[in-house]
Structure 1
Amino acid sequence: MDGLLLDTESLNERVNGEIVERYGKSFTSDIKIAIAGTTAVNSAQTIIKTLEIPLTIEEYLGERNKLLYPLYPTAKTFPGAVELVQHLAQYNIPQAIASSSSRKNFEMKTVNHQDWLKYFELFTLGDDPEIKQGKPAPDIFLLTAQRLNAQPENCLVFEDSLSGMEAAIAAGMTVVVIPDPVFDKKMFTAADMVLNSMTEFDPQMITS
């Protein structure tokens, strides 16, 4: 979802940048790459350790959430995302969201997007008790496939992060990566397809 369907990553980047600047640090593209697709706790841990921020994970997340939560409902969809979701729904292809977001965060981010989220069969989220390990482990994708009554080899995953791609591959699924422009596309050579935008994906490949 994040960085693929909804542009929440720019909100995260803005808030993380504001927090670390208080300590004379910069939120660099390397850190952005390192935390992409991970849980909030893992992201905070990476930022604190890498930049030597004098906060605990709980303190960092507290500061982050105060700034971020009011912004979440403003998240916009990426070009082509809603059109693809609607197209697949017309062909009765089951769809699910498998996101590292917690349910609370997911609900805030999607509050203004219920008109197209209705096309998804289910949502598997990062704080689901049945997920033992987050991405790049395959747990979240395998659990989602199980709940869809689908075989992993019949699943197509859309991802924007390296950890997400690795999780999909480990699950034995086909994966299309649409990375943030800050990423070097060479990082995603293991993907089945790498695109610049969702608008480049031809749904006829799976609905014809």
Structure 2
Amino acid sequence: MIKPVTHVLFDMDGLLLNTEDLYTVAFQNIVSQYGKDYTFNLKLKLMGSQAHETAQTIVSELELPITPEEFIHESKKQFEVLFPDTNVMPGAKKLIEHLHNKGIPLGLATSSSEESYHLKVDKHHQALFSLLPYKTFGSSDPNVKNGKPHPDIFLVAASKFPEKPQAEQCLVFEDAVNGVKAARAAGMQVVMVPDPRVDKSLTKEATIVLQSLEHFKPEIFGLPPFED
């Protein structure tokens, strides 16, 4: 049953920015040096994870002859090249600007580090992301003890709103299965915009599933509708 909400939290990678595609390129560039493939099934396990969790899993699953720390070091070199030219996903700008203009409190809850966030946003997207004033960076925030699918990041993110909303008053937007699980574990409703390759059976925990943010109707959750 869908209930009205007052506050909104957005994931970033793969939802607001096309960075999930860029992570795939970066990680494949690294693992191919060792004759390995970064498969979509492995990516599915990792979407929403913090940096150290991602590195540990990739090194372990692909049996790479490097440490997780070395993988993170190599990743950062890839990111510096790839991330400055990210693109905003369809519908994201319109939705954020609409909710901001209607006075809905907005926050960002990303597993990315603060350093990674600035690489992705500073060159082209500062104005848009300034409309999400309450930001939580999972890989940098000591209060986020566990990455998604644990609820930590969304509980920490919600606590940053001055109004201190209850969990059920918050709506989360996510693209990743782990992110949906995290939002549900936090007691929040969640709109999922999955990669089209994600099996439908993995999207069942979401409150609603959309092909694109362009299809979101705010009034379903008691938010001000678009004025077309």
TM-score interval, normalised by the smaller of the two chains: over 0.9
* Distance of 1:147 and 1:164 partners within structure 2: 19
Decide which of 201, 206, 214 is 1:186's aligned counterpart: 201
Q: Distance in 2 between matches of 1:72 and 1:105?
A: 8
Structure 1: gaps of 5 or more residues: none
* Counterpart check, 1:26 vs 2:37: yes
Counterparts of 1:18 and 1:182, CA distance in 2: 21
SS in 1 for 2:81: coil
By relative contact order (CA 8 Å, sep 6+), the higher-ranking structure is 2
Length-normalised TM-score, structure 2: 0.88
Q: Does 1:115 align with 2:132?
A: no
Identity of aligned residues (%): 43
Partner of 1:55: 66
> How many pairs are equivalent?
208
Measure, in 1, the Cα distance between the counterparts of 2:189 and 2:102.
19
Unaligned runs of 5+ in 2: 1-11
Match of 2:4 in 1: none
Letter in 2 for 1:135: K
CA RMSD across the alignment: 1.1
Say which is worse superposed, 152-161 or 60-69, in terms of deviation: 60-69
Show CA shifts across 1:12-71 (max 9, x none): 101111111111111111111011110111111111111111110111111121122221
Moved segments of 4+, more than 3 Å: none
1:68 to 79, 92, 113: 79
* Letter matched to residue 49 of structure 2: T
Q: 2:216 aligns with which of 169, 182, 201?
A: 201
Distance 2:130 2:114 in 1: 16
Match of 1:167 in 2: 182
Does the residue aligned with 1:69 lie in a helix, a strand or coil? helix
- Residue 141 of structure 1 pairs with residue 154 of structure 2: yes
Distance in 1 between residues matched to 2:211 and 2:151, nearest whole Å: 24
